Structure 1
Amino acid sequence: MSSSIFGISAEYDVIVIGGGPAGATTAGLLAKRGHRVLVLDRERFPRYHVGESLIPAFMRPMEEMGLTERMDERGFERKYGGSLVWGNNQVPWKFGFLKGKYPYAFHTRRADLDAMILDRARELGAHIIEDATVKEPIEENGRVVGVRYALRGMDGVREVRAGLVVDASGQARVLSRRFTDVKWHEELRNVAVWTYYDNCERLEGDEYTNILIEGLDEGWFWAIPIDKGTISVGYVTRSATAGEGGQSLEDLFHSEVGRTTKLKHMLRNGRQSAGFRTARDWSYHSDRFYGDGWVLVGDSAAFVDPLFSTGVALASLAGSTLAQIVDQIIKHPEIETKALDRYATAYSGFFDEIREFVERFYDRTKYKEFYHSLAQEMIDPEHERKPADDFVTLISGLSGNHPMFHIGLDDLIADVSQPEITKS
């Protein structure tokens, strides 16, 4: 059955599988550049998703999308820093985001945030089909040239073709699962169990909007203020040891809450307002980020432990970078392989650096000065700034020095644009 009966073309410049932050940002910024883009998502937005706390780096791609003011208008709560009970003797400490263009991020219900970004992609000209499950890629001569998809509640499978297919399907990994192998990071093979509480107290004073991260001997809690009285609360611990002795994850959650200090105080008058959700083994890395006619972005490529709330920012930042690269590939198809190789190398390296920092941060036997120095070692080896400032810069995602943010293609374009010299 032809897709055209729904007012959707059978051919596009780019197909994006998945309408979350990575896919919507990629699609919106490509459409903004004048390209024909189709987004296929298996859900109907707004839809639930975890990951409600953001970091300032997220504001960069949102500025490109024209959404920074809209986030305030929607009433998302600004986040100005974080509070930790972490390290030697579990001493409380805190940080504030540095002054600059965006000295804040947001806490938000992801259903509302993701719907806003996808709606903006639609406004910018991307074609969006929801309730559309991608069944398989279409391959010709070893190249992916489109996908087959089914619409919920309708018979038949439809085909749509494009010059490039972007897998932004998150942990569903529609193409990634088919074309790549995944490396799991053994040091970060964790399980999370989370729920929501109403009528909670907030941190006091200048910590009022902070995310709380409270470490214990065997794991750690997050507490994210979603609005004035509701917080998201989750517990993360090792998958290998969770539930030992037959204890359920829910019982483990409640028993560990009782061992906290700041979190227990926040919840003392609260009431649980939702059931529990769980997720396991969150940290992984695909062995390939692209192939002939396809490329990965966001969680379909890799994911790092949620300790510093980097997931949404990394996904949307990568979407912004990929949109710039694909824009040039459409104009200069001959550079596709080399351009995507530069993207993959930089993107993979970016994940590896964040993973290394998170793994070392998980050593809770140190003092905060150690964690500050660790950040300085990674992003400021010349010691041009204070270690505490380097720490905030790193976890804000604003170091800006990584090759991920500076992928140049001018030399590749120049090579293919040189006129042929004919011999007389």
Structure 2
Amino acid sequence: MTVKANRYDVAIIGAGMGGSVLGAALSRNGVRVLLIDGGVHPRFAVGEATIPYTNVSQRIIAARYNLPELTTLCTLKDCAKNISPTFGTKTHFGFLRHEEGKPQNPRETNEFHTPGLLHEAHHLYRQDVDAWVFHLAVKTGCTPLQNYKVADVDFDDSGVTVHGEDGSEYRARYVVDASGHSSPLAEKFGLRDEIPRYKHQSRSMFTHVMGITHTDDLWDRKPEHTPPVPWYEGTVHHTFNRGWGWVIGFDNTPLSRNPLCSIGLTVDPRVYPKNPKLSVEEDFADITSRFPDIERQYAGVTPVREWVSTDRLQYSSKQTVGDRWCLLSHAAAFIDPLFSYGLANTGDAINRLAWRLIRACQDDDFSAERFDDFEQWQQARFHYNDEIVNAGFTAFDHFEFWKAVFRVWVWGNNYGTFRARAGLTQYQKDARDSHFQDLEKGQNLGFDWPDHEGFRHLFDTMVTQVDAFQAGKIAAHDASEALWAELEAADFFPKPFGFQDRSVHFMSPKPPVIAKSALWLSRHGDPQVRKMLMKSGRQAIRLRLSGSKIF
């Protein structure tokens, strides 16, 4: 084929989940898309734990870009039926704190049960879901180009030329790099910061295994120390000083026939430096052996694929958009996966980028200036994620401090989910895209909850206390008390949830708690929160009573 024949509106480098969903959204709306990948599907990928916001962002993409097929990813039942019975359930975020040489203290645990009445989350078996999304992109009209190694990308006033290592060339008006860390555009333009601009540091090691001991079987504990939802039915986080390990089960629901479990660690390399004499498995065993109950969780497992080890996970880019190009999500930067932000952020980025690209194609204007809002948001989003993850790593070794940080993250992210869902509900009534564009507004760019000054003040207090503790200016106890004082005084937490009660370790907003919250909100609290939660609750109940799929 000649260069002239290989002409497209948008070339996407990287056909993982982000690149494929973006390609499908563009193609379904009349954009000629070339979807390039250096490998083939199916293949292993990380980023397996979702959060409720992931679900909502996918539903918004489905509605906004006429991709109803994408809602398959939003329920475990549909994933098992239409993709494969390999997905795990995720009914909560669970955290258990550990100290070296000591058994896990049952009083030092947290669990937030994600309210299934309102949202759903699950564990994605990525090799299956990524292949499914790639095939969806092809079905919508994307031209696939797998096993294609990009040698260079050239730009001129009229477009972009993608050069393959095989000597072939493809022409497009715009290029999106969704390839991840090994970004051709980041390398070409020298975009990577030599020292990542982020505060936290972590390295990682991980694999898939069989034979994991279920977390609930590790102990026989008193009822007051047993969470309302079994540990193994959600994402289990084992936390310790400057690190954490994960247990992501794919075998924790009757809907799955997958016997595997994802396990891994991320640790601060300044505290746990790599030992070049150890294999990855030996490195993993060396760190987990310091914590008796973490070691018991992982004992006797059988890896079913090679172990993967990284150096520092974090990287950042000086710039993420330019004339006729963009770095999408993990091609631009990466943050530790502690709070499972990866796919949620990617969904948000696709929502913000796709409509801008569709209009750029219509106007034949691909200048960097018209994508500047996307650049500002994407950089701010990475910064927000870094601050909350750095706070978590800093507070891990001080349980009261960690409890407070945990609450800031949980409620900020949950309210952001309610806010996004409200925009979708309005769109479903009148099909006005302005509802989605309104979600991009807010004075606190990059925040889960971008339009509430009370939450901004609470978040800033957390960052200030974390920074002061890290600098050795205050003790952990004092930092914790300062943050708790702000938490307890805030009027934008629904009190029955237990966010402001230090004695509550397991937060489970099941229907009775939601009902109590509705009564409390009708009489107390922040007006913005009251209006949002009352509206969301009524909508969820109507859908449930009508037999519709919840959100």
What TM-score do the two structures reach when normalised by structure 1?
0.81
Distance 1:262 1:292, change over 3 A: same
1:351 aligned residue (382, 401, 406): 382
Give 1:95's aligned amino acid: F
C-alpha distance in 2 between matches for 1:185 and 1:356: 11
Residues 187-235 of structure 1: CA distance to partner in whole angstroms, max 9, x if unpaired? 4332111223212232345333211111123522111112354211112
5 Å matches for 1:198-277? 198-204=210-216, 205-228=229-252, 229-240=259-270, 241-244=272-275, 246-260=277-291, 263-268=294-299, 270-277=301-308
CA distance in 1, matches of 2:172, 2:382: 28
2:200 partner letter: L
Following superposition, the deviation at residue 61 of structure 1 comes to: 4.3
Residue 171 of structure 2 is matched in structure 1 by 161
Partner letter of residue 303 of structure 1? F
Would you say the 8 A contact 1:189–1:280 is kept in 2? no
**Correspondence for 1:2:** 2
Q: CA separation in 1, counterparts of 2:279 and 2:302? A: 20
* Contact kept in structure 2, 1:188 and 1:281, CA below 8 Å: no
Report SS of the residue matched to 1:371.
helix
Report Cα offsets for 1:282-312 as digits up to 9, x if no partner. 1222111111111110211111111122222
Compute the displacement of 1:68 (Å): 2.9
Which structure: greater strand fraction? 1
Does the CA-based 8 Å contact 1:58-1:312 persist in structure 2?
yes
CA distance in 1 between counterparts of 2:55 and 2:151 reads 34
Q: Which consecutive residues of structure 2, in runs of 5 or more, have no partner in the other structure?
A: 73-77, 217-228, 253-258, 413-446, 456-490, 501-505, 508-527, 529-551
1:404 matched residue in structure 2: none
Structure 2 counterpart of 1:11, from 7, 20, 45: 7
AA partner of residue 211 (structure 1)? T
Q: What are the residue-to-residue correspondences of 1:59-78 with 2, within 5 Å?
A: 59-63=55-59, 64=62, 65=67, 66-69=69-72, 70-73=78-81, 74-75=84-85, 76-78=87-89
Unaligned 5+ runs, structure 1: 151-155, 394-400, 402-424
Q: 1:323 to 1:111 in 2, by over 3 A?
A: same
Instruction: Tell me what 2:360 maps to.
Output: 329
The structure-2 alpha-carbon separation of the partners of 1:389 and 1:11, relative to structure 1 and needing over 3 Å to count, comes to farther
CA distance in structure 2 between the partners assigned to 1:50 and 1:126 by the alignment: 24
Query: Which residue does 1:98 correspond to in 2?
Result: 115
Amino acid at match of 1:107: H
Matched, 1:191 2:203: yes
Structure 2 distance, partners of 1:93, 1:43, is: 40
Matches of residues 363-382 of structure 1 in structure 2 within 5 Å?
A: 363=394, 364=396, 365-367=398-400, 368-375=402-409, 379=449, 381=454
- The answer to whether 1:384 aligns with 2:492 is yes
Maintained 8 Å contact 1:144/1:165: no
Deviations 1:73-105 (A, max 9, x none): 222222111211138986122111135542x22
Q: Deviations over 1:333-390 (max 9, x none)?
A: 3474332101111111111111111111111124243114533687452542248788
CA–CA distance in structure 2, aligned partners of residues 314 and 248 of structure 1:
33
Give me the identity figure in percent.
22
Match of 2:124 in 1: 108
Change (3 A) 1:144 1:35: closer
Distance in 2, Cα, partners of 1:371 & 1:120:
39
**Higher RCO by CA contacts (8 Å cutoff, separation 6 or greater):** 1
- Which digits, 9 at most, give the CA deviation of each residue in 1:375-408, with x for residues without a partner? 3687452542248788999xxxxxxx9xxxxxxx
Q: Do structure 1's residue 128 and structure 2's residue 147 form an aligned pair? A: no
Alpha-carbon deviation of 1:110? 1.4
Partner of 1:295: 326
Give 1:144 deviation, angstroms. 5.2
Structure-1 separation of matches of 2:117 and 2:363: 37
Residue 184 of structure 1: SS of its match in structure 2? Answer: coil
The aligned residue for residue 90 of structure 2 is 79
Question: Cα–Cα, structure 1 residues 288 and 109, in superposed 2: closer, same or farther, change >3 Å?
Answer: same
Alignment correspondent of 1:411: none
Query: Closer, same or farther in 2 for the Cα pair 1:72/1:384, shift >3 Å?
Result: farther
Matches of 1:281 and 1:267, distance apart in 2: 23
Task: Please give the secondary structure, in 1, of the residue aligned with 2:316.
Answer: strand
Shift, 1:248, TM fit: 4.6
For 2:310, what is the secondary structure of its paired residue? strand
* TM-score between both structures, scaled by the size of structure 2: 0.63
* Matching residue of 1:309: 340
Corresponding residue for residue 255 of structure 2: none
Q: Does the 8 Å contact 1:223/1:263 carry over to 2? A: no
Counterpart CA distance in 2 for 1:384 and 1:274 is 46
Alignment-mate amino acid for residue 2 of structure 1: T
Q: Is the 8 A contact 1:214 1:260 kept in 2?
A: no
Q: From the superposition, tell whether residues 270 and 138 of structure 1 become closer, same or farther in structure 2 (CA, over 3 Å).
A: closer
Counterpart secondary structure, 2:230 = helix
2:28 aligned with 1:35: no
* Residues 178 and 329 in structure 2, CA contact (< 8 A), matched pair in contact too: yes
Select between 217-226 and 161-170 the one with higher mean Cα deviation.
217-226
